[in-house]
Amino acid sequence: MENQVLTPHVYWAQRHRELYLRVELSDVQNPAISISENVLHFKAQGHGAKGDNVYEFHLEFLDLVKPEPVYKLTQRQVNITVQKKVSQWWERLTKQEKRPLFLAPDFDRWLDESDAEMELRAKEEERLNKLRLESEGSPETLTSLKKGYLFMYNLVQFLGFSWIFVNLTVRFCILGKESFYDTFHAVADMVYFCQMLSVVETINAVIGVTSSPVMPSLIQLLGRNFILFIIFGTMEEMQNKAVVFFVFYAWSATEIFRYPFYMLSCIDMDWKVLTWLRYTVWIPLYPLGCLAEAVSVIQSIPVFNETGRFSFTLPYPVKIKVRFSFFLQIYLILLFLGLYINFRHLYKQRRRRYGQKKKKVH
Q: Which of 18, 293, 306, 316 is catalytic?
A: 293
224 contacts 216 by C-beta, under 8 angstroms: no
Q: Is the peptide bond before 8 cis (omega within 30 degrees of 0)?
A: no
Helix (H, G, I), strand (E, B) or coil at 175: helix
Helix (H, G, I), strand (E, B) or coil at 50: coil
How many whole angstroms separate alpha carbon 348 and alpha carbon 350?
5
Give the C-alpha distances (Å, rounded to integers) separating 24 from 20, 41, 110, 307, 361: 13, 15, 17, 71, 12
β-strands 103-105, 10-14 pairing: parallel
The question of whether 262 is a catalytic residue gets the answer no
38 contacts 65 by C-beta, under 8 angstroms: yes
Helix (H, G, I), strand (E, B) or coil at 21: strand
| C-alpha Rg value of the chain to the nearest Å | 28
Q: Which of 71, 149, 286, 347 is catalytic?
A: 286
- Can you list the alpha helix ranges (DSSP code H) found in the chain? 113-136, 142-175, 183-197, 199-207, 214-225, 236-239, 243-266, 272-278, 282-307, 324-354
57 contacts 64 by C-beta, under 8 angstroms: no
- Cβ neighbourhood burial of 4 (10 Å; 0-12, 13-18, 19+): exposed
Helix (H, G, I), strand (E, B) or coil at 58: strand
Q: What end-to-end distance do the CA atoms of the chain give, in Å? A: 29
305 contacts 323 by C-beta, under 8 angstroms: yes
The question of whether 237 is a catalytic residue gets the answer no
Handedness of CA 100, 101, 107, 112 (dihedral sign): positive
CA contacts within 13 A on the Cβ side of 262: 23
Positions marked active-site: 286, 293
